[in-house]
């Protein structure tokens, strides 16, 4: 789906209830929830500057107009503040209203549904990684390595998420599993719709899995590559919002 489409076109991916248990929500409300939960969980700190509006849109896979509306709504409610000038931008409020943040959360049913989506991706990830270790071309391996460098040098979660998505899409393509790759890419995109912002240092640590995976793929080490991929996806059960929401506010991506 083009990220330039209007907000009305986006609920087909965001909150459209394609999985049992998923709640119907507009694309704008989904963005509000993802940013709000990141603030509630301490992943976005008071006073922290959010990426530019265009980058928020790209990082959360929505259109610029959706990102603008979501940020404007959060600003109206005091969750974020907007400042003009050279040092301006959108910042997490020093004291976001707790009642507003409480309303920006996923339901237990939605959390359970995303857990099932993680399991679905886990199955696909192991399969595509197995065949990528057999079929990946030198050019594809070089591009995967380049993407790991891009992620290592990224300064914010928005750019990292974009490179991360390209990385996993390419692993799928490198598997040469034909129509199964399309289903994997669909599952990947559906799950990315529920990622929330993370501190960049935590994402850099996660990138070590990508580096290890590329090394295993270059060596044609199927067993090691699949194990790296399995661990990388399985940890989402504990690091995506459905697990974090049940933990203490200081919860963050585990080592």
Which tokens hold the place of 89?
């931008």
CATH code for position 230:
1.20.120.530
pTM: 0.81
Task: Write down which residue in 68, 103, 138 finishes a domain.
Answer: 103
Domain end marker among 80, 103, 126 = 103
Supply the pLDDT for residue 119.
93
Which tens digits make up the pLDDT trace of 208-235? 999 999 999 999 999 999 999 999 999 8
Clarify whether residues 164 and 66 are in a common domain. Answer: no
CATH number at residue 51: 1.10.10.10
Q: Containing H/E element for 92?
A: strand 89-92
One domain, residues 97 and 140: no
Range of the domain at 95: 27-103
CA distance 61 to 158: 10
User: What is the pLDDT at residue 241?
Assistant: 58
Taking CB atoms within 8 Å and a gap of at least 24, the contacts of 235-239 are 236/118, 236/121, 236/191, 237/115, 237/118
Q: What tokens does 68 get?
A: 């603008």
Residue stretches of the chain with pLDDT short of 70: 1-24, 240-255
Alpha-carbon gap, residue 59 to 53, rounded angstroms? 10
Structural domain tally of the chain? 2
* Model pLDDT for residues 141-180, shown as the tens digit of each residue: 999 999 999 999 999 999 999 999 999 999 999 999 999 9
Q: Residue 85's pLDDT is what?
A: 78
- Residue 233: inside a domain: yes
Residues 82 and 191 in one domain: no
Query: How far apart are the C-alpha atoms of 198 and 43, rounded to whole Å?
Result: 6
């Amino acid at each position: 789906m083009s990220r330039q489409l209007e907000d009305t076109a986006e609920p087909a991916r965001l909150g459209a209830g394609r999985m049992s248990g998923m709640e119907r929500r507009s694309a704008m409300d989904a963005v509000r929830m993802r940013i709000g939960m990141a603030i509630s969980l301490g992943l976005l700190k008071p006073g922290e500057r959010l990426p530019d509006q265009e980058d928020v849109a790209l990082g959360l896979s929505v259109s610029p107009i959706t990102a603008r509306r979501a940020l404007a709504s959060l600003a109206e409610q005091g969750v974020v503040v907007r400042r003009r000038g050279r040092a301006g931008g959108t910042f997490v409020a020093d004291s976001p209203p707790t009642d507003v943040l409480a309303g920006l959360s996923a339901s237990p049913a939605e959390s359970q549904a995303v857990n099932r989506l993680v399991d679905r991706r886990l199955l696909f990830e192991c399969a595509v990684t197995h065949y990528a270790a057999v079929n990946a071309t030198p050019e594809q391996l070089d591009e995967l390595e380049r993407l790991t460098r891009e992620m290592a040098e990224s300064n914010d979660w928005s750019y990292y998420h974009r490179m991360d998505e390209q990385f996993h899409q390419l692993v799928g393509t490198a598997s040469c599993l034909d129509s199964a790759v399309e289903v994997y890419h669909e599952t990947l995109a559906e799950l990315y719709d529920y990622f929330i912002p993370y501190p960049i240092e935590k994402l850099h640590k996660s990138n070590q899995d990508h580096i290890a995976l590329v090394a295993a793929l270059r060596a044609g080490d199927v067993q090691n590559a699949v194990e790296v991929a399995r661990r990388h996806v399985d940890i989402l059960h504990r690091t995506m919002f459905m697990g974090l929401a049940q933990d203490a506010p200081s919860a963050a991506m585990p080592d």
